[in-house]
Structure formats: structure tokens, C-alpha cells
């Protein structure tokens, strides 16, 4: 199939998706918080796309390139689902509950201070009790 046809639409769509997709969308950059605790966000990522077109018969020669109609579209959804909480040699998973009335991102932002406080308290209790994660 010649340039400018459906093959070009598909190639462009796939290239744009490659530009969007990376591991940082699923496992985010570490966030350092007080008391030597690191939070690593984990998200659910969903993509959808469609492309299509048609080559029309009729014209031949140089004008044949003008006989194409097509398009592409897509969307992505990134939804926070958990945080990995790292302290010393211990790692815990804290999930983000998602009520249906607000978006997951709003919920994650709302929960951030509470999550940090819970993590700090959890590790303080472990330190006070003398618990080490490797036992």
C-alpha cells in the first residue's frame, strides 16, 4: 500500500501510542517523605484506540493519493490503585479505595496526608517494639 493510505494512518497511530506508553505510567517515581519513608505510586493504565480508512478507486496516476479517507482516535485512563511504602528493608502495599462519587485521582490526593501519617505511625510502632522486617 502506498504512503498516505491506511498503512500510514496505522503507523502514525502506533507510533503515538509508543510515545505514550512507559513503565512510569504504571509504577510512578518514588516520593521521599519524612522519617526515611519512600512512597511509590502504582496505577492501573487503560488504553483504547481505533483507526480506519478506505482507499477509493477511480483515479489513477498522480491523483491516486487523493483517493484516501481515514482517521484515528484514542484515549487513555490512568487510575491510582495503590502505594508501595518502603522503610528500611520493609515494603508494604497500601491500596487506594475508590468510592464511586469522586474520581480516583481526587481520592488519592485526599488520602495522601492520611497515608503518610499512617505509614509514619506504623513504622514508629515497629521501631518501638523492636520488630525488624527480616525476622
Question: pLDDT tens digit string along 79-95?
Answer: 889 999 998 888 989 88
Residue 134 lies in a domain: no
The ranges of the chain with pLDDT < 50 are 1-3
Residue 21 lies in a domain: yes
Structural domain boundaries enclosing 120: 6-129
Distance of CA 18 to the CA centre of its chain: 13
How many domains are contained in the chain?
A: 1
Please tell me the predicted confidence (pLDDT) of residue 86.
92
Residue 24 lies in a domain: yes
Residue 84 lies in a domain: yes
Residue 135 lies in a domain: no
Please tell me the predicted confidence (pLDDT) of residue 25.
78
C-beta contacts of 126-131 below 8 A and 24+ residues apart: 126/90
Residue 16 lies in a domain: yes
Residue 37 lies in a domain: yes
Amino acid at each position: 500500500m502506498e504512503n498516505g493510505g491506511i498503512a500510514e494512518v496505522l503507523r502514525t497511530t502506533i507510533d503515538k501510542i509508543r510515545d505514550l506508553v512507559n513503565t512510569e505510567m504504571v509504577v510512578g517515581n518514588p516520593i521521599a517523605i519524612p522519617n526515611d519513608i519512600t512512597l511509590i505510586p502504582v496505577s492501573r493504565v487503560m488504553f483504547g484506540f481505533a483507526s480506519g480508512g478506505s482507499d477509493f478507486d477511480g483515479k489513477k496516476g498522480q491523483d491516486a493519493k487523493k483517493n484516501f479517507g481515514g482517521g484515528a482516535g484514542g484515549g487513555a485512563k490512568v487510575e491510582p490503585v495503590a502505594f508501595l511504602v518502603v522503610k528500611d528493608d520493609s515494603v508494604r502495599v497500601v491500596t487506594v479505595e475508590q468510592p464511586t462519587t469522586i474520581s480516583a485521582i481526587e481520592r488519592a490526593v485526599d488520602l495522601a496526608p492520611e497515608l503518610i501519617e499512617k505509614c509514619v505511625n506504623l513504622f514508629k510502632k515497629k521501631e518501638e517494639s523492636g520488630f525488624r522486617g527480616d525476622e
